[in-house]
Chain A
Amino acid sequence: MIWFRPCRWLLPLTRLVSNLAVTLLGLLLVTFLIGRVVPSDPVLAAVGDRASQSTYDKAFIELGLDKPIYEQFWIYIKTVASGDFGTSILTKKEIVDDIIRVFPATLELATVSILIGTLLGVPAGVLAAVKQGKLIDQVVRVIGLIGYSVPIFWLCLLGLLLFYAKLDWVAGPGRIDISFEYAVNPMTGLLLVDSAMQGQWDAFKNAFSHLILPASLLGYFSMAYISRMTRSFMLNELSQEYVTTARVKGVPEWRVIWCHALRNAAVPLVTVIALSYASLLEGSVLTETVFSWPGLGQYLTNSLQNSDMNAVLGATLLIGAIFIGLNQLSDALYSSLDPRVRKRL
């Protein structure tokens, strides 16, 4: 019946919106409270140590710190609800403008990293599961273990030393060479996309050469996790009866592994990859610092250190929204990968 249709969609939609609102509100409240509890004076960040008392007092009132905490929080929520995230103490710009400036750098880095991580991690995990206990399994495990346990900061410096300083294969820190700095017109903020859209292939190559080392290192890091998870999901699937059935039926082994087992292991794997991607999108502070990458991680850390609460809250909201969004996306993928889930919906 026609009147029934909108309700079928309305219910999950309302559930999604209320989920989003409650989660983000909780996130904001916790971040806000932590920000106020930290024994560091936000007015100092705004006016510095040398300002006169009158300048200090003026800034104190401008920042709204003379009001009780619950009132400050209420005012903040009200302004956020109207789409205004406030101004950063540090950059003096609208938080939205700041995030639009720093987030594409992180998005570009994280996307290439997760691609590398997935493309290498999944086959490595499958291989390890199939050859369980054999040499190749041990090798994948050790490589994964190294990736997971070596400090990323050290790995980044070593990577720079080898591939940039000694071998000269990749470009150094930063997103692009200064000669291309103003050549690319920022449209999306993603240098690879912008330069490709404008047909500036020299700039594209240069940006790629800057990106590939940090992206590979972060990719290696997520590969370690993804390959471990793939291995364990695959082991679980390979011991199922349907696999034995397929083998008995005479299905070729590669088909059994890549089409039957992996297809089923892919369902939980989607969540693993989505969450790895989300944590990369938070911005990897250490990698960004070593590679002078002007991304979200550096922005957030710097804001935190300067008690720039508007910026911290804005960035936290974005990260929260990313996590929720990717979770929803992996749920949606579930239903396309798993017919049983589809049926339930």
Chain B
Amino acid sequence: MSFTRWRTAVVFMCFWLGVCTSAQARTPTDTLVIAWSIDDMLTLDPAESFEFSAGEILGNSYQPLVGFDLNDVSKVFGVVAQSWSVSSDGKTFSFTIRPGLEFASGNPITAADAVYSLTRAVKLDKSPAFILTQFGLTPQNVDEKVRQTGEMTFEFETDKPHSPQLLLYCLTANVASVVDKKLVSSHERNSDLGYNWLKTNYAGSGPFKIRDWRANEVVVLERNENYQGPQTTLARVIYRHMPESSTQRLLLEKGDIDIARNLTADQIQAIKENADVSVQQGVKGAIYYLGLNQKNPYLAKPQVRQAIKHLIDYTVIADTLMKGKVSVHQAFLPKGMFGALELTPFSLDVEKAKTLLAEAGLADGFTVTMDTRNTAEATGIAQAIQKTMAMAGITVELIPGDGQQTLTKYRARRHDIYIGRWGPDYQDPHTNAETFARNPDNADNADSKTLAWRNAWEIPEMTAATDAAVLELDSQRREQMYLDLQEKQQQSSPFVIMFQEIEVIGTRSNVKGFVIGPSFSTNSFQSVTK
């Protein structure tokens, strides 16, 4: 029997052997091949793109007006903008464009391009437009508020004297990237501002230009010879869509790809033994949290919220389960962001939790459900939490669902507990404060669906404090305001903030210089050498 199976296998193998080439081509030295699950990618238009993968690709192919130092985020420097000043009333920002810059197309970069890019994003009003419209811009008034004042100068007028930090950080986001006005305008159809063209094409000035994108298959970038910064040694960078992490590991170890982006914690442990491969990591801005819906009478009790914060084994999940893909973090601003609080007051303490539950009149515990996205990470963390919660008598029933399903339910406030992951939209602390500590209207049909609203947490005082921090012009005082806000929020909120994400990638050992930034748009392969 086994002999026959063996013989069949040999027949199969000879069949293959006869027809296939045996030597495989590995990646060329001037080409970086990255395997990543890029099925989230919707568009290449900076005015619309808001996904991780596209964020990274646009971050390497477009240039913003200003950028920030990855090692010291408080340092903001000009990229396309050379300098700027703020008027005495704090509402008008005047920018001067750096002279001598060119787009990949060869067109010179002027103030007209910067104004066009900002007004275009506001007029199109796609997902990331709120980053700009929060300064009081609307499609109707934007032409008046963002105005060109000279060949290389323009002004940006806001509705209130916001902290200058907030505006500058917002301008580092991809939505404020400078696009080639002449090129985009030439592809305008029915006054669509080039929207239908730019979603699959490129009009930027970054170190790389996008040559081709085939959805769920491949993205190809090439060196931009017109880029004025230091030229990269890579001639091209190829992203290959690879949804299966085991496949990524095989190809990485084999040398058919240079970087694998979706390796699981176990696979990372396993490849550490291979000398041809190395592991690189960097702290990301995303945080993992539990949202406790205040519409649930049990979870609305302050003691219960406090008890749950003591019923999670933070260190075991971070070290044993996630194996270094997250670190323990318990405040709403991620480490590395301006004003982040690094205090971690909670740890697993079943006795304390039991006392708190008894105080709430729930000594025998209760039953709640937890909506869990069916990814390995979320499911693993949820199961670990289920186990420790049971120690104090809280029965957690997990409801697995795909991302869209759980999110739809969360946004309709029909969950009990939601296990979520939140990444900041831009580099300013307001992005997270706005969602974790602000809820201007707790009604079911409210316009603003912040995370505080989704968990029906009514906080008029904290909302006022969050709004005040945005308008604080002095940066030291502003930092203190955020620290106070986080400490207060940490204790009283229905959010159990647990971890901060760490991005871990596997690279071939000869690949050097890949930079992992706090967001995907700050990940850079500009200085990679092989």
Contact = CB atoms under 8 A, between A and B. Distances in A.
B86 interface: no
Nearest to B16: A169
B264 interface: no
B404 A50 contact: no
A76 interface: no
Interface string B119-131: 0000001111110
A14 interface: no
B1 A139 contact: yes
Contact of A205 (B21, B244, B404): B21
A329 to B, nearest CB: 28
Given A45-B404, A48-B127, A298 B17 contact: no
A82 interface: no
Contact of A179 (B8, B25, B241): B25
Interface in A194-226: 205-206, 208-209, 212-213, 216
Interface in B8-29: 8, 12-13, 16-17, 19-25, 27-28
A52 B138 CA distance: 12
A240 interface: no
A135 B5 CA distance: 12
Contacts of A170: 16, 20
B407 to A, nearest CB: 6
A298 B408 contact: no
Nearest to B42: A90
B141 interface: no
Nearest to A304: B402
A90 B53 CA distance: 14
A143 B8 contact: yes
Interface in A29-55: 38-41, 44-45, 47-55
Interface stretch (B151-159, B249-257, B329-337): B249-257
Interface in B197-244: 199-200, 214-218, 220, 238, 240-244
B242 A169 contact: no
Contacts of B43: 92
Contact of B20 (A143, A169, A292, A294): A169
Contacts of B4: 135, 139
B241 A292 contact: yes
Contacts of B5: 139, 142-143
B254 A171 contact: no
Contacts of B80: none
B16 A179 contact: no
Interface centre among A157, A209, A292 (most CB of B within 10 A): A292
Task: Tell me if A's interface is mostly helix, strand, loop or mixed.
Answer: helix
Interface in B59-90: none
B16 A55 contact: no
A168 B214 CA distance: 28
Contact of B409 (A39, A91, A142): A39
A40 B200 contact: no
Contacts of B128: 50
B395 interface: no
A216 B21 contact: no
B107 interface: no
B133 interface: yes
A163 interface: yes
Interface in A50-81: 50-55, 58
A209 B411 CA distance: 48
A62 B447 CA distance: 19
Interface in B303-325: none
A92 B49 CA distance: 12
21 contacts: A48-B51, A51-B126, A52-B133, A55-B127, A90-B42, A91-B216, A92-B42, A93-B200, A101-B214, A142-B5, A157-B247, A161-B250, A164-B254, A169-B22, A172-B24, A179-B28, A208-B19, A212-B19, A290-B244, A290-B246, A292-B242
Interface of A: 38-41, 44-45, 47-55, 58, 89-93, 98, 101, 135, 138-139, 142-143, 157, 160-161, 163-165, 168-174, 177-179, 181, 205-206, 208-209, 212-213, 216, 289-292, 294, 298-299, 302, 305-307
Q: Which 9 A-B pairs have the closest CB atoms?
A: A91-B215, A40-B404, A294-B217, A51-B127, A41-B408, A53-B447, A52-B130, A209-B20, A48-B127
